[in-house]
Amino acid sequence: MSQKEGVKMSDKLIRSDKEWKELLTPLQYKITRKKGTERSFTGKYHSFKAEGIYQCLCCGNEIFSSETKFDSGTGWPSFADVISPEKIEKIPDHSLLSLRTEVACSRCDAHLGHAFNDGPKPTGLRYCINSAALKFVSKAEKYKKATFAAGCFWGVEAAFGKIEGVISTAVGYSGGDFVDPTYHDVCSGKTSHAEAVEVLYDPEKVTYEKLLEAFWNMHDPTTPNRQGPDFGTQYRSIIFFHNDEQQNSAIKSKDEFQAKLNKPIVTEIIEAATFYKAEEYHQRYLEKRGTQSCRF
Ligand SMILES: [Zn+2]
């Protein structure tokens, strides 16, 4: 079992029935601890569409993502998949005439709902879950943003995408003054935008300092407007900070990395401005082509 994702036995959350009763509302208790079911169309998440993560209400175990949520028409929140299989336990349930599969949280054993085999492709599964057993955490609340420019954005995106704790990446253009630039505009060098990568990360799994360290190591920050064969202002090295904390960390990290180098670092540390997402074919470009690097 994966140490990062899975639930180790030592992580198991065990509380007495009395404790659960005190912590939960009567409805939440009845559903999660006594295998109850809320009436359809009464829960708060059945038609809820915001982007984020659904945790087990009782213990915070991250079980479902909005990415696999779909409208099943049943009046219960429905998901085609779990975030990872170790998050839940599937238990045969004979309580009705037909055999059903109960879905429980692997960390605290909370009853969540049932799984059926009539879901959408590719999983074919429908996790039919009680809203009252879930706690939704929006992407904006949970994850933080970091933005960097370090040469050709294909390779920079691929490098950040491999870091544990990075939730998603996007390539785009930032740092210039041209509104809504295309790749063609940026390549012309007239927009003063740099090829940039926006990283959404989970601060509980990876720190901003770790991302900075990766940033320094993935490119040469001493060559002005140049990375290897790529030359132009769009390839300059920039840390776009989103708040004072990131700015301070960036300056500190630059000083530390500078101490290891003979040549001066030319990386700009500037406040994040509008990030123009690049055309879809540039997103996860190397991943789509099964290559690791821009250098062929
Ligand atoms: Zn739980």
* pLDDT 10s digits, 9-49: 458 999 999 999 999 999 999 999 999 999 999 999 999 99
pLDDT digits (tens, 9 = 90+) for 229-271: 888 999 999 999 999 999 999 999 999 999 999 999 999 999 9
Q: Is the pLDDT of residue 145 over 60?
A: yes
Residues with CB under 5 A from ligand 1 (ion): 56, 58-59, 61, 105, 107-108, 110
DSSP per position, 156-201: HHHHHHTSTTEEEEEEEEESS--SS--HHHHHTT-S--EEEEEEEE
Q: Structure pTM?
A: 0.62
List residues bridging with 90 in a β-sheet. Answer: 103
Return all residues near 288 (Cβ < 8 A) that are at least 6 apart. none
Q: Is the pLDDT of residue 126 over 70?
A: yes
Return all residues near 20 (Cβ < 8 A) that are at least 6 apart. 29, 32, 33, 58
What mean pLDDT comes out for the span 104-123? 96
Distance 135 CA to ligand 1 centre (A): 10
Distance 95 CA to ligand 1 centre (A): 22
Return all residues near 125 (Cβ < 8 A) that are at least 6 apart. 80, 81, 115, 116, 117, 119
Q: Which residue has the tokens 């785009």?
A: 172
What mean pLDDT comes out for the span 212-236? 94
Domains and CATH numbers, the chain: 9-139 (2.170.150.20), 143-288 (3.30.1060.10)
Distance 112 CA to ligand 1 centre (A): 9
Distance 270 CA to ligand 1 centre (A): 42
Mean pLDDT of the chain: 92
Distance 149 CA to ligand 1 centre (A): 39
pLDDT digits (tens, 9 = 90+) for 166-196: 988 999 999 999 999 999 999 888 899 999 9
Task: Classify each residue of 236-246 as buried b or exposed e, where b means 16 or more C-beta atoms within 10 Å of its C-beta.
Answer: bbbbbbeeeeb
As a whole number of angstroms, the distance between CA 45 and CA 294 comes to 43
Q: Which residue has the higher pLDDT, 2 or 172?
A: 172
For residue 288, what pLDDT band results from cuts at 50, 70 and 90? confident
Q: Is the pLDDT of residue 294 over 80?
A: no
Which residues are the active-site residues?
Answer: 128, 152
Task: Return the closest-CA partner of residue 134 out of 247, 27, 256.
Answer: 27
As a whole number of angstroms, the distance between CA 241 and CA 230 comes to 24
Q: Is the pLDDT of residue 4 over 70?
A: no
What mean pLDDT comes out for the span 270-295? 84
